[in-house]
Chain A
Amino acid sequence: MTTRTNTEWLSALRETGQSQESAVKELRQLLHRAIFSFLSRKGATSAAGPSYDQDDLAEDCAQESVLLIQSKLDQFRGDSQFTTWAYSIAIRVTLNELRRRRWRTSAIEAARLGDAMPHWPIDNPGPERNLEQQQAWAILTELIETALTPLQRKALIAHAFQEMPLDLVAEWLGTNRNSLYKLIHDARKRLQAALLSRGVTHRELIAIFDTPRPERPYLEDGKKSFFTASND
């Protein structure tokens, strides 16, 4: 396999004929090797379903990545190795495909999508912290219901709580990934303001859901925890 400079990669891929064919073949081989190795380390077979073949998936993703790279050559900034840029696209394509496969096998019903908060978000919370955590969770869910716009709420619930991949949420809401990121960013800002207006701080919220239980060192001024003040 040849070692090409960035300029050589770009010119070969932009040319036609033998030179381009050779560069495309080399790129596909590089990406296939990287994707196959990535999938092996990731142990993605079980996550993507029993019918999944690692080599076939690596081949499909490498092929898709090459086509994407050829269509985006003008967007290469030149501040990294061309191959690093190409690998970044290949990893994105591969992870997107894995997420799509996982989502296809998820149990979320279409009617509940973006619309139903889970009753309890935490795996194995531990009984001693249950009440405090339930109170914190109740405030968070209330604010998600009341402080966000309907679209922000749909997007946040589908992505953060129902684990729908961002690209699929964007397709579902008829937008693109950048606009969706902005929508969720705005939702976070609203939640942040709403939580702070209730006197709930980052450290306090994290500490309540953290283990082992701290002796409330997060309350610098000696106040009782916001969530347990009425129960002590």
Chain B
Amino acid sequence: MKRTEFGRLIDTIFAAKAGEELSCSDYFERLPRYAELEAAGEDAAARLPDVRHHMHQCPECEEVYLGLLEVVLAEKKSDASR
């Protein structure tokens, strides 16, 4: 295990909320909107805090977000150059 991964695990332990958290399915439903807000330069984390929290707690889900954001930004750039 890498140092950064271990640090992340510790973070997730202490960031676990007392109540329910967004499930992975609920997260994936909201993720496209989150990525579009972020790509538009808006504060997606403030608008959709549960989504932000889930991606912090679930590195696999965050990896999907990072990949999606890249795709959305590339599309935006391509649209702008047309």
Chain A residues proximal to chain B, CB less than 8 Å: 34, 37-38, 41-42, 75, 77, 79-81, 83-85, 87-88, 91-92, 94-95, 99, 118, 121-125, 160-161, 163, 165-166, 177-178, 181-182, 185, 188-189, 191-192, 195, 202, 205-206, 209-210
Count: A-B pairs, CB below 8 Å: 109
Residues of B within 8 A of A84 (CB): 32, 35-36, 68, 72
Chain B interface size range: 35 or more
A-B contact pairs, 27 of them (CB 8 A): A34-B71, A37-B74, A77-B33, A81-B32, A84-B68, A84-B72, A88-B28, A88-B68, A95-B60, A121-B6, A122-B1, A122-B6, A123-B2, A124-B3, A160-B1, A166-B58, A177-B24, A182-B23, A185-B16, A185-B21, A191-B13, A192-B14, A202-B11, A205-B10, A209-B6, A209-B7, A210-B7
Name the residue of chain A whose CB is nearest to the CB of B18: A189
Q: Please give me the 7 A-B residue pairs with the lowest Cβ-Cβ distance, nearest first.
A: A80-B32, A188-B16, A202-B14, A178-B23, A91-B67, A121-B1, A84-B32
Asked if B75 lies at the interface with its beta carbon under 8 angstroms from chain A, I say: yes
- Complex formed: what's the CA distance from A123 to B31 in Å? 33
Say which residue of B21, B24, B25, B64 sits within 8 Å of A91 (CB atoms): B64
- Complex formed: what's the CA distance from A194 to B61 in Å? 27
Which residues of B49-66 are within 8 A (CB) of A? 57-58, 60, 63-64
- Complex formed: what's the CA distance from A203 to B52 in Å? 21
- Complex formed: what's the CA distance from A205 to B52 in Å? 23
- Complex formed: what's the CA distance from A162 to B2 in Å? 12
Asked if B42 lies at the interface with its beta carbon under 8 angstroms from chain A, I say: no
Chain B residues proximal to chain A, CB less than 8 Å: 1-3, 6-7, 9-14, 16, 18, 21, 23-25, 28-29, 31-33, 35-36, 57-58, 60, 63-64, 67-68, 70-72, 74-75
Residues of A within 8 A of B36 (CB): 80-81, 84
Contact B33 A80 (CB under 8 A): yes
Contact A206 B10 (CB under 8 A): yes
Say which residue of B3, B14, B71 sits within 8 Å of A123 (CB atoms): B3
Name the residue of chain A whose CB is nearest to the CB of B37: A80
Contact A77 B29 (CB under 8 A): yes
